[in-house]
Amino acid sequence: MIIGIDLGGMSAKAALLAQGQLKGKSRVATSASASAEQTALSLAELALQVAEKANKSMDDVQAIGIGAPGVVNSAGGEVVSWTNFGWKNVPLAALVRKYTGKNVFVLNDANAAALGEARYGAGKRFSDSILLTLGTGIGSGVILNGKLFEGFRSAGTEMGHVVIRQDGERCTCGRRGCFERYASASALIRMTRDKMVSDPASAMWRYAASPDDADGRTVFLALKEGDAAAREVLEGYIAALGEGIANIVNAFRPQAVILGGGISAEGETLLVPLRKYVYPRLYVSAEYAPLEICCAALGNDAGLYGAAEYAFSRL
């Protein structure tokens, strides 16, 4: 049995993975004002809480896997940098091991989610899959031959920062025109707001009192009414998302691209036009190398599954 932990800026979640099931799911608040040492201690306490809740003792736990934000050196169990918490070279695995006496492994949280979806969720049937999580940015993880591919010093597969428009919008990474500037959930919301401003007759105004109130669902709600402005927003968004996906597929040629994040709840409304956009743009045809484009299945649990699975693979 392995405990998976999903460390975030507001809270850390954890659960015990046994026979493919998550048990004893628990959560603890996290804070940027706490030291790395204090955070590690609360993760250790969280692990204990999970074991108790699942009616197990820590003796039954073989290892702990932690999905952490930022740049992670998974081989060394270090968080190299996590800007929100001001972490630099935090030996997270060693700290949590000190308080639990367990083998502890750390990987990037987006990679953990990709591994979770690949083994237990939407990617189960495939040996090669890529998860793109559409949120504030775009989180990504690549599974090749059933294994997580992280690049040198686990510094690779940052798909959100592949440029799709040279000299485009400025990105938090310092470059311009990154994929996530056009295809994240934040980008869709920005496009929705811009369109509402330029089109006061749009049905989108019925679902958001002002452009500031628009969220990731606004465009989809108005689309159900056949709103032309909403259709235009979605077409622009699909084109950006599709360009990025075609690039990624041309590079790795997975069997599946899995979309996570709140927008993926729209399902086929999003997928049908996306497939139509992507398939004709692939260098090698989808007839020759079939490609599934689908939505994630595990929601917020993907990272828990993946963190535990990763620890298991490293034992």
Q: How far is the CB of 186 from Zn ion (least distance, A)?
A: 13
Stretch that binds Zn ion, among 1-9, 119-127, 156-164, 279-287 (CB under 5 A): 156-164
Q: How far is the CB of 171 from Zn ion (least distance, A)?
A: 3
Distance set, CA 221 to CA 225, 267, 276 (Å):
7, 13, 21
Q: How far is the CB of 180 from Zn ion (least distance, A)?
A: 6
Toward Zn ion, which CB reaches closer, 88 or 161? 161
Map residue 143 onto helix, strand or coil: strand
197 is a contact residue toward Zn ion (CB under 5 A): no
Nearest to 310 by CA among 147, 185, 197: 147
Q: What are phi and psi of 183, to 5 degrees?
A: -130, 5
Q: How far is the CB of 184 from Zn ion (least distance, A)?
A: 11
Toward Zn ion, which CB reaches closer, 10 or 173? 173
Give CA–CA dist 74/141, Å, rounded.
14
Toward Zn ion, which CB reaches closer, 176 or 314? 176
Count of all residues that appear for the chain in the document: 315
Map residue 300 onto helix, strand or coil: helix
User: Cα angle vertex 62, ends 61, 68, to 5°?
Assistant: 90
- Binding to Zn ion (CB under 5 A) within 111-130 occurs at none
CB-side neighbour CA atoms (13 Å) of 253: 9
Stretch that binds Zn ion, among 32-40, 68-76, 148-156, 158-166 (CB under 5 A): 158-166
Q: How far is the CB of 81 from Zn ion (least distance, A)?
A: 15
* Type of residue numbered 295: C
- Binding to Zn ion (CB under 5 A) within 250-289 occurs at none
Toward Zn ion, which CB reaches closer, 244 or 273? 244
**Residue of 23, 161, 165, 190 that binds Zn ion (CB under 5 A):** 161
Alpha helices in the chain, H assignment, sequence order: 36-53, 92-100, 109-120, 179-183, 185-198, 204-207, 218-223, 228-252, 268-278, 302-314
* CB neighbour class for 51 (10 Å; exposed up to 12, middle 13-18, buried from 19): buried
* Type of residue numbered 185: A
- Binding to Zn ion (CB under 5 A) within 167-196 occurs at 171, 173, 178
Q: How far is the CB of 178 from Zn ion (least distance, A)?
A: 3
Q: How far is the CB of 139 from Zn ion (least distance, A)?
A: 13
Stretch that binds Zn ion, among 59-67, 114-122, 154-162, 228-236 (CB under 5 A): 154-162
Toward Zn ion, which CB reaches closer, 169 or 266? 169
Q: How far is the CB of 140 from Zn ion (least distance, A)?
A: 12
Give CA–CA dist 149/41, Å, rounded.
30
Toward Zn ion, which CB reaches closer, 56 or 165? 165
Residues forming the site for Zn ion (CB under 5 A): 161, 171, 173, 178
